[in-house]
């Protein structure tokens, strides 16, 4: 008994010593899905770029109700991981948000308060809290605001750190950014709310942004008023003009912001909104400031370039109403878009990805050849290809009785894509698991949009980083894709991978006119089943063209090298064609000639020099405001960024962006399984609990009888 206190003291001493040692030398095992609590390789690479101290200040209110308390803890755990991965330059600090100083500092950094609901004294009460952080590197401030969930939190922190490092490296040089605000005085007659204060508001916004960027942001407020000045502004700076009518006729003006840096420019539109009770109003200055900060990050960052095909009716990247401007704004976070007119321009060297988005015209053979040889050179192609496009009459035409109509789209890309391994149908996919509109006022019921499937669960390819973490993605007016019946024959053949598929209760219609109020589900004569709406082929491709001099003649229609003439004759004929194209000069023309029919034979590649990638999406609506909001982190936007990153050889960014994006869900494979699960949880589980309770009660009764019999036997003895 005397040795017990000594043993207890020794045990406590050992426990204390073990804790002291483990505080400096320890290891962790992350068993969560997608390694949610471990830093990705991209985050570690970002930390390796630090050359000066980088600080993260956390402005996250304490004592928050669920689920925000868990989000706060997840944020702190991530920051500890960052701190443990970098030994000198990284640090973080938690600011006490219960003090006036903490709240004032958060406001000074531009963090916004968030209203949350919590239960106090048995009733719901609103509370304004802060849920954000700022990254400080040099004099650059990057905000990570409104952290309301753990989804993509590591991606947001890593992106903010990388952006801060890039800005410091760029703005510490000799060049600065010029911020020009254009506002025609004639716009005052429209009585736009906020227009009179625009100059002073923009000056204040500039002062704040300039303070955070080494004082390297110059400022100009310009008021083009005459027709010549407006025309010159539109032509030189690309500001979108505004037209309206008054008693004197048609008036014109410009309203927008242009940021210039070296030979690059970013345009930030000043949106005009219709007010609820009439009139117009400018966007909130806080939103304009956030757009400007994002544009500056995009402008000065050393981003990669992607080529964007133009000139054949593709979606306009400057159209914010029905075009691909949201897509361009989304890509501007990481990429510089380089427009390329394939009918007369080569794809610039150094570009790894070409985007072809919703063309409505017919590509020339020269353009198809450039696309083909880009793939043969190891490039990647992202194509959004529609089967139909809707023609919307002008307002004047509609007043005369004109109605929107659909017309089929044929671009010439279809046989190329099929040759590479993806078959493009001319149908449109409908799905019973599709988007429903919300019920409206006046008793208006919700409407199901069958041509807008909502994808999730098994509709996503969980093996590919582009779609592995996505859920609830919406497509619209998509065509069906399938593996080509006779794909390329060069070994190894490109691998076909379906990325997005509709539900088992989907079907196709031949024309959009087959869709109407009569559509209630899968028709009796339709073949229901999953339909591919986005697919990827990657591997070694073979050229669609037999040679550079026989444009317009598909490979399968030309004489095979194994014909009677033999391969040598085929090469001789090709060289003869080059000589004929050069007016019989007898010399092969030099490289750089724009006439594709006169290109040197040795510039032509019959097979890809390295594995290439082709990703096809069966609808260009993906890139329009109908389905894409670049300001919010949506599954559609994540899919597009993941796709471009993957094609550009950066799958790590796609993996990081999707990390923790979705919550695992129970997949319901049939109505029978749904009913079984419902009644099983309602009846079977309670019955199982009752049965287990009866078994435990019976065992206790039996044990009690056994003990009683033992004591009774002993008493009798």
DSSP strands (E only) in 304-420: 304-310, 335-341, 353-357, 380-384, 388-391, 405-408
**Mean predicted confidence (pLDDT) in 443-472:** 88
Is pLDDT at 425 greater than 90 in this prediction? Answer: yes
Both tokens of residue 327? 């897509």
CA separation for the pair 156, 146 (Å, rounded): 11
Asked whether 185 and 223 are in contact (CB, 8 A), the reply is yes
Distance separating the N- and C-terminal Cα atoms of the chain: 39
Grade residue 492 by pLDDT with cuts at 50, 70 and 90.
low
Quickly count helices (H) and strands (E) in the chain: 17, 29
15-44 pLDDT per residue, tens: 888 777 766 665 667 766 666 667 888 899
> What pairing do the DSSP bridges indicate for beta strands 353-357 and 90-94?
unpaired
112-149 pLDDT per residue, tens: 899 888 776 667 778 889 999 999 998 788 899 989 88
> Distances in Å between the alpha carbon of 255 and those of 206, 233, 286, 577?
17, 10, 17, 55
Sign (positive/negative) of CA torsion 280, 286, 291, 296?
A: positive
Grade residue 714 by pLDDT with cuts at 50, 70 and 90.
low
pTM over 0.75: no
Q: Which long-range contacts (CB under 8 A, 24 or more apart) does 519-527 make?
A: 519/430, 519/450, 521/432, 522/432
619-637 pLDDT per residue, tens: 999 999 999 988 777 889 9
53-107 pLDDT per residue, tens: 999 999 999 888 888 999 999 999 899 989 988 778 999 999 999 999 999 999 9
343-359 pLDDT per residue, tens: 888 888 778 899 999 99
Grade residue 554 by pLDDT with cuts at 50, 70 and 90.
very low
Both tokens of residue 87? 């030994």
Asked whether 234 and 167 are in contact (CB, 8 A), the reply is no
Is pLDDT at 284 greater than 50 in this prediction? Answer: yes
Q: % helix / strand / coil in the chain, to the nearest 5?
A: 35, 25, 40
Grade residue 571 by pLDDT with cuts at 50, 70 and 90.
very low
pLDDT for 480: 96
Three-class SS state of 125: strand
């Amino acid at each position: 008994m005397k040795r017990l206190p000594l043993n207890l003291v020794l045990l406590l001493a050992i426990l204390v010593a073990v804790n002291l040692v483990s505080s400096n030398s320890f290891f962790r095992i992350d068993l969560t899905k997608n390694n949610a609590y471990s830093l990705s390789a991209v985050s570690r690479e970002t930390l390796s770029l630090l050359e000066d101290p980088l600080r993260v200040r956390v402005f996250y209110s304490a004592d928050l109700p669920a689920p925000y308390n868990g989000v706060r803890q997840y944020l702190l755990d991530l920051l500890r991981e960052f701190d443990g991965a970098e030994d000198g330059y990284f640090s973080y600090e938690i600011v006490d948000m219960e003090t006036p100083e903490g709240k004032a500092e958060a406001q000074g950094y531009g963090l916004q308060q968030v209203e949350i609901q919590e239960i106090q004294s048995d009733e719901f009460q609103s509370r304004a809290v802060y849920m954000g952080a700022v990254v400080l590197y040099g004099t650059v401030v990057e905000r990570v605001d409104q952290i309301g969930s753990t989804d993509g939190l590591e991606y947001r922190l890593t992106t903010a750190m990388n952006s801060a490092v890039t800005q410091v490296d760029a703005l510490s040089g000799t060049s600065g950014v010029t911020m020009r605000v254009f506002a025609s005085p004639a716009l005052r007659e429209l009585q736009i709310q906020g227009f009179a204060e625009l100059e002073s508001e923009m000056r204040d916004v500039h002062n704040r942004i300039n303070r955070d960027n080494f004082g390297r942001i110059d400022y100009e407020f310009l008021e083009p008023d005459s027709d010549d000045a407006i025309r010159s502004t539109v032509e030189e700076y690309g500001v979108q003009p505004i037209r309206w009518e008054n008693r004197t006729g048609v008036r014109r003006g410009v309203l927008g912001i242009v940021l210039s840096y070296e030979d690059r420019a970013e345009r930030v539109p000043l949106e005009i909104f219709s007010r609820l009770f009439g009139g117009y109003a400018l966007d909130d200055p806080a939103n304009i400031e956030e757009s400007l900060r994002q544009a500056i990050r995009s402008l000065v960052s050393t981003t990669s370039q992607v080529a964007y095909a133009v000139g054949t009716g593709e979606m306009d990247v400057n159209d914010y109403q029905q075009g691909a401007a949201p897509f361009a704004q989304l890509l501007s976070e990481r990429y510089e878009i380089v427009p390329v007119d394939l009918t007369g321009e080569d794809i610039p060297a150094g570009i790894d990805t070409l985007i072809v988005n919703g063309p409505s015209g017919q590509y020339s053979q020269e353009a198809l050849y450039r696309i083909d040889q880009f793939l043969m050179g190891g490039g990647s192609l992202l194509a959004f290809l529609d089967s139909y496009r809707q023609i919307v009459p002008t307002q004047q035409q509609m007043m005369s009785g004109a109605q929107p109509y659909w017309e089929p789209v044929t671009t010439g890309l279809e046989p190329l894509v099929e040759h590479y391994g993806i078959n493009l149908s001319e149908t449109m996919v409908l799905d019973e698991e599709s988007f429903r509109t919300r019920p409206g006022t006046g008793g208006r019921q919700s409407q199901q949009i069958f041509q807008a499937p909502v994808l999730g669960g098994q509709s996503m390819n969980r093996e590919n980083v582009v779609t592995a973490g996505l859920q609830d993605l919406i497509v619209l007016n998509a065509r069906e894709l399938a593996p080509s019946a006779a794909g390329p024959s060069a070994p190894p053949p490109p691998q076909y991978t379906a990325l997005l598929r509709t539900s088992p209760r989907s079907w196709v219609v031949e024309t959009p006119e087959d869709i109407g109020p009569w559509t209630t589900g899968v028709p009796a004569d339709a073949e229901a089943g999953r339909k591919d709406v986005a697919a990827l082929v990657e591997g070694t491709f073979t050229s669609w063209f037999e040679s550079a001099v026989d444009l317009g003649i598909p490979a399968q229609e030309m004489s095979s090298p194994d014909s009677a003439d033999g391969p040598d004759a085929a090469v001789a004929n090709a060289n003869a064609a080059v000589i004929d194209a050069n007016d019989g000069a007898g010399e092969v023309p030099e490289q750089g000639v724009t006439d594709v029919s006169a290109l040197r034979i040795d510039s032509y590649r019959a097979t890809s020099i390295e594995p290439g990638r082709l990703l096809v999406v069966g609808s260009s609506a993906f890139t329009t405001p109908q389905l894409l909001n670049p300001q919010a982190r949506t599954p559609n936007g994540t899919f597009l960024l993941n796709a471009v990153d993957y094609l550009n050889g950066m799958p790590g960014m796609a993996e990081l962006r999707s990390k923790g994006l979705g919550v695992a869900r129970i997949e319901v494979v049939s109505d029978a399984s749904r009913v079984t699960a419902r009644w099983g949880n309602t009846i079977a589980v309670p019955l199982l609990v009752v049965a287990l309770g009866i078994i435990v009660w019976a065992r206790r009764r039996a044990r009690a009888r056994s003990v009683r019999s033992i004591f009774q036997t002993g008493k009798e003895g």
